[in-house]
Amino acid sequence: MIPSDCLVVVVGATGAVGREALAILESRGHPADRIRAVASARSAGSTIPYAGSAIQVSEAGPASFAGARVALFCATSDIARTLAPAARAAGCAVVDNSSAFRADPDVPLVVPEVNGPDVSRVPSPALIANPNCSTILLLVALEPLRAKFGIERIVVSTYQAVSGAGAAAITELQQQASEMLAGRAPQPKVFAEPCAFNVFSHNSAMDEATGLNGEEKKMISETRRIWNDPNVEVSPMCVRVPVVRAHSESVSVTLKHPASESEVREAFRGAEGVVIIDDRKGNKFPTPLQASGTDPVYVGRLRADPGSKRDSAGRTRNHCLFLSGDQLRKGAALNAIQIADLLAK
């Protein structure tokens, strides 16, 4: 855990991920005087409630990192590229939530439950990238299976909350829901399509040559980097759904070694960061509402792929699951803080 005497800089403190990072630090009892909240000039001078008091926000700049040991970047890629070098020059380790450094082969891409030991090999002051939220949730859920049986192929469909596109997207969903219930046509602004009572392809840029959108490309490349497995096959389909917070994913995996359903369930026993919700009789499985505001990745609908052949012992290489996880916590702020915890060791 980050020591209580460690000065932590939260860059982008007034944004959704920045506020989530502050909430997590507050819940851990990290002292207010050991946190420096910085943001844009527009937000400078505002205050953020913290531990019964408030933290004042200052303007982010090269001087923001003096005396600090770790900086949690919860801002845009442009800000990360501009200020991360200044932070490191001040001797401050950087954990970046943006996409600025994710594709850089010299910058580790870390999910602590999966490749946490990579942190110990990073030269100081460290620069570590937080993966894409959908990738984080997917790999936390699959790590128990990869560790036990190996994974050859992943087919995943995401059901991504609008909050992944920022606060304006949440407001748009709320407004459109009211408009449609009142019989009025919604007017999309944040998204190209109405997000209320609708499902559409993820709003990241589409590659016309490959047919992949940006979110899907990230899931492919980041999975291979984090697992250090350039041969794993990843086939994603990413969509937005009319959910405020927490992403869900439907996953089908091909294991390298066959397993029975009971062996798959046993692999999840004690798995770090995973909670199983798999009540077939009660028809209760993970939902984004359950996941919202919580830390684990919830996993359920565990079953052998019904279309696969099984051997005489009931084993198959093809298995399915469903997951839900809070993309603002484990998919962003919490993962970054867990990386900082490892750096503190």
Phi-psi sector, 67: left (phi>0), alpha (psi -120 to 50), beta: left
Q: What is the pLDDT of residues 254-289, one digit of tens each?
A: 999 999 999 999 999 999 999 999 999 999 999 999
Placement of tokens 């036990």 in the chain: 148
Domain that holds residue 53: 8-131+332-344
- At residue 3, the pLDDT reads 92
Residue 55 maps to which CATH number? 3.40.50.720
In this prediction, the residues of the chain whose per-residue pLDDT falls under 70 are none
Do 317 and 198 share a structural domain? yes
Residue among 30, 74, 92, 133 flagged as catalytic: 133
Contact 319/259 with Cβ under 8 angstroms?
Answer: yes
Residue among 30, 202, 247, 319 flagged as catalytic: 247
Number of structural domains the chain divides into: 2
Do 260 and 140 share a structural domain? yes
- At residue 289, the pLDDT reads 97
- At residue 345, the pLDDT reads 80
The answer to whether position 52 is within a domain reads yes
Buried-state track 204-243, b at ≥16 Cβ within 10 A, e below 16: beeeeeeebbbbbbbbbbbbebbbeeeebebebbbebbbb
- At residue 320, the pLDDT reads 98
Do 294 and 205 share a structural domain? yes
Do 336 and 321 share a structural domain? no
Question: Which DSSP string do the residues of 235-292 spell out, in sequence order?
Answer: EEEEEE-S-SS-EEEEEEEEEEEEE-HHHHHHHTTT-TTEEE--BTTTTB---HHHHT
Do 289 and 174 share a structural domain? yes
Distances, alpha carbon 120 to alpha carbons 28, 261, 344, 345, in Å: 23, 36, 10, 9
Helices (H), 150-187: 167-181
133 annotated active-site: yes
Cβ-proximal residues to 282 (8 Å cutoff; 6+ apart), any chain? none
Residue 50's closest CA among 71, 34, 63? 34
- At residue 186, the pLDDT reads 93
- At residue 224, the pLDDT reads 97
The answer to whether position 1 is within a domain reads no
Q: What is the pLDDT of residues 196-248, one digit of tens each?
A: 999 999 999 999 999 999 999 999 999 999 999 999 999 999 999 999 999 99
